[in-house]
Structure 1
Amino acid sequence: MFDIVSPDEIREGRATDAYFDRTVTTLEDADRDPYVVAEVCADQFPTGAFELFAGVKDAANLFSSTTVDIDALCEGQLFDGGPVMRIEGRYTEFARLETSLLGFLSHASGIATRALRARRAAPDVQLLSFGARHVHPSLAAVVERSALIAGFDGFSHVAAGEILGRESSGTMPHALIICFGPNEQEEAWEAFDAAVGDDIPRIALCDTYSDETDEVLRAARTIDLDGVRLDTPSSRRGDFRHIAREVRWKLDTEGYEDVDIFLSGGLGAAELRELRDVADGFGIGGYVSNANPVDFALDLVEIEGEPATKRGKLSGPKDVYRTSDGDHCVLPAGTPSPAESESLLEPLVRDGEIVREFSIDASATRALRDAERVGFEAD
């Protein structure tokens, strides 16, 4: 019914590029299937531009029925050049999986990196991912998981919440207010308050028909509010910072100091830096979900124990380290490690068995800690 490649087709290697099919056919016909080492990299050498590694859980599951061994960075680790993953085994065992593998890692890592920029731009307020509407529905859980790994506090997508074991967030759109009509905002807020469970925050959308300060005070007088959300379109927004400050002033002077202010609508890292001191939280959409994928590539670097690769790539297996001063170091495998450094490649799959557990919370803790360590910023 929908243009979606099924999980079975992905695991069976049918979600692949045609030339991998033809390569496997050729190697089988020639009775050739070398034992190889392959590496996944975005850049050969460190460039100073760190990115956040994500998509590892899906990648591990992709190889769970093979006989290969895989080492990889941990999910939530920042990287800068060199391999993020190393695969060892017979080439035909994983040749057809390359396309899906790179898709899993590239898309999730791009989203997570952009989400981490948002988190670093506004480190002390609540961030919710509202961007699932900008991507194919089959990717919603990828978007939300990647945002959580970067330190977001929640997300809006219901089905993604069921997959990830998290409760989705969000209260009302403009459509709810419009369904009640102009000058009937109070009726809409009261209907919402009466209909939803006590566990749902009472956060009223307050910019549908009239001035933000007007609707905010009307909402506060109508129901027992936890917060208000302003989602004024950019075409009518003016000085969003001034609007938020005015709303805060009005709420405080009317005795509603405990009502939080949430902002949403086309916000990115620059806007978060500007507004983070006048808001209690943000809903972030396309800035995160529309992030460019990381340009990962998979290359063979060793054939039957001998270094080998194509022109322009670095042959032989490599190790990567986080040095004591926060740098990313890439060295030939077997080279003595830098003093007081941390090796980043760890076992992920052994003979087709996943040997690592996955925790979103642990990944988020790792990402935020590593961001501090390497000086990752929002720019």
Structure 2
Amino acid sequence: MPEDDQPFAIVPPAAIRDGRATDAYFRRTEAALDAADRNPHVVAEVTASQFPTGEPALFDGIQDAVHLFEGLPVDVHALPPGTCFDGGPVVRIEGPYRSFARYETSLLGFLSGATAFATAAHELRRAAPETPVLSFGARHLHPSLAAVLERSALLAGLDGFSHVAAGDRLGREASGTMPHALVICFGRGEQEAAWRAFDDGVDPDVPRTALVDTYSDEVDEAVRAAEAVDDLGGVRLDTTGSRRGDFRHICREVRWELDARGHDDVDLFVSGGLGVADLRELRDVADGFGVGGAISNADPADFGLDIVTVEGEPAAKRGKLPLPKQVYRTPDGAHHVGLAHEEGPADGDPLLEPVVADGELVREFDLDAGIGRAREDAALVFEGGSGGEDDG
């Protein structure tokens, strides 16, 4: 029977905190260890790959995951959010195994989804480093994940997002102008009425950007919008893939016609099913992008948790590397994996940092600091310190 009468199928925070948000076999493991009166002191590590693969990802989600360990007799080290990683552990946990066994499912879930969003958003950022990019992907996810998605997008360096409640949670203002539904509510041939209603009705600080591909040719509607609304800030093309043809040519034609009619101050924004390749192709003809599914539909990072010592002795399943490890960033942007008890590279900075000490949180997480870290670390990792652009 359901635990409460809430209308949505959402696991409540209380269930996550008390460890019920877990796979059943961890409960069976607890029962077996209790029956055997066994609770070994272990070191466990979360990894996606044991060795560097040459395909760095952007780490995120630890801001939420650390709260699983509050009040537990464990120490936790982790990469800070916004760190580029490539092989080796992203989290290391030390303590009695029974004290944290049931939290593995939630731990991996917190990390896998957020890291996937952040990595996908960062690929888009690198594809259009000088052009504003907004996250429009919340509609593809369960609503309870919207703030995670938008936070990861910001961490990766995107310029904004569309989800109002996520903005409330993050203390940031959501962005967005009008949907096709607004124009359709006024009817075919009445686009000007819709654009003027938007101009009249929304707060003055909202950018005046008109959607210009609802009923007729993008060029036609763009010019009409620029002439219908005083001080129009921009037009947005959200043309469906089945009607686009050569989308780059359409964008260039819209720009030409606006400029030719004295509307060179009207920006051109593009959205609708865009991915990394689209941003590379359009970044010189568009003034901004809205991207959704390319972020929200990213495959979860394939993290797993493995015990690497038991009572101080090496331990690991086949295919995994025993003993605690540390990972390092060297000045050339390389990611180095080594044993934690040995000296790392002479010029390397250790990346795993204390976040929980004997159940007490010892690190605070600031989104702005994470954004800066992601930008600086990516400059090292992807461009050897020269910047973040990706020419494909």
Partner in structure 2 of residue 253 of structure 1: 260
Corresponding residue pairs, total:
379
2:231 equivalent to 1:217 = no
Quote the offset at 1:378 in angstroms: 7.5
Shift of 1:103: 0.4
Supply the AA of the counterpart residue of 1:71. H
Deviation at 1:7, TM superposition (A): 0.6
* Residue among 13, 26, 33 paired with 2:19: 13
CA-CA distance at 1:337 after TM superposition: 1.3
2:174 match = 168
> Structure 1 stretch 63-72 or stretch 200-209: which is displaced more?
63-72
Q: Is the 8 A contact 1:16 1:99 kept in 2?
A: yes
Task: Report deviation, 1:328.
Answer: 0.7
Shift of 1:246: 1.1
Q: d(CA) in 2 for partners of 1:164 and 1:351?
A: 28
User: Could you tell me whether the CA contact under 8 Å between 2:248 and 2:282 is conserved in 1?
Assistant: yes
Alignment of 1:27-38 (within 5 A): 27-38=33-44
| TM-score between the two structures when normalised by the length of structure 2 | 0.95
**Cα deviations across residues 249-306 of structure 1 (Å, max 9, x unaligned)?**
1111222222111000110000000000001100001011100011000001111111
Corresponding position of 1:229:
236
Is residue 105 of structure 2 the alignment partner of residue 99 of structure 1? yes
Q: Secondary structure at the match of 1:104?
A: helix
Counterpart-to-counterpart distance in 1, 2:303 and 2:311: 24
Of residues 240, 245, 251 in structure 2, which corresponds to 1:244?
251
2:277 corresponds, among 263, 270, 283, to 270
Does the 8 Å contact 2:236/2:271 carry over to 1?
yes
Within 1, Cα distance between the matches of 2:369 and 2:254?
37
How much has 1:65 moved relative to structure 2? 3.2
Structure 2 Cα separation of the partners of residues 378 and 163 of structure 1: 35
Partner AA of 2:345 in structure 1: P
SS at match of 1:375: helix
Indicate if the aligned counterparts of 2:331 and 2:380 stay in contact, CA closer than 8 A: no
CA distance in 2, matches of 1:192, 1:65: 51
1:56 maps to a residue whose letter is: I
Offset of 1:89 from its aligned partner?
A: 0.9
- Structure 1 partner of 2:124: 118
Residue 67 of structure 1 deviates from its aligned partner by 2.4
2:327 counterpart of 1:324: no
CA distance in 2, matches of 1:348, 1:22: 29
Return 5+ residue gaps in structure 1 as ranges. none
Partner of 2:222, secondary structure, is helix
* CA distance, structure 1, for counterparts of residue 340 and residue 214 of structure 2: 60
1:90 to 79, 96, 104: 96
For residue 334 of structure 1, the aligned residue among 341, 346, 351 is 341
The reply on whether 1:68 has 2:59 as its aligned counterpart is no
1:242, 1:366 → 2: CA distance?
37
Deviation per residue, 1:185-205 (Å, 9 max, x gap): 111111111111111111110
Q: Alignment partner for residue 306 of structure 1, among 301, 313, 320?
A: 313
1:116 and 1:378 in contact (8 A); partners too: no
- Structure 1 distance, partners of 2:105, 2:185, is 46
Partner of 1:139 in structure 2? 145
Of stretches 55-64 and 33-42 in structure 1, the one that deviates more from structure 2 is 55-64
Q: TM-score, normalised by structure 1?
A: 0.98
One-letter amino acid matched to 2:183: I
Give a deviation string over 1:39-73, Cα, whole Å, max 9, x none: 00000111111111000111112222322110001
> Residue type of the partner of 2:137?
G
1:198 matched to 2:204? The reply is yes
Q: Please give the per-residue CA displacement for 1:202-238, whole angstroms capped at 9, x wherever unaligned.
A: 1110110111111111111111211110001110101
- C-alpha contact 1:53 1:77 (8 A) present in aligned 2: yes
Q: Distance in 2 between matches of 1:100 and 1:247?
A: 48
CA distance in 1, matches of 2:71, 2:177: 42
- How many angstroms apart in 2 are the aligned matches of 1:153 and 1:296? 28
Q: Assess if the C-alpha contact under 8 Å between 2:56 and 2:86 holds in 1.
A: yes
Q: What is the Cα-based RMSD across aligned positions, in Å?
A: 1.1
> CA contact under 8 A between 1:173 and 1:205: conserved in structure 2?
yes
**Corresponding residue of 2:289:** 282
Within the alignment, does 1:179 sit opposite 2:197 as a pair? no
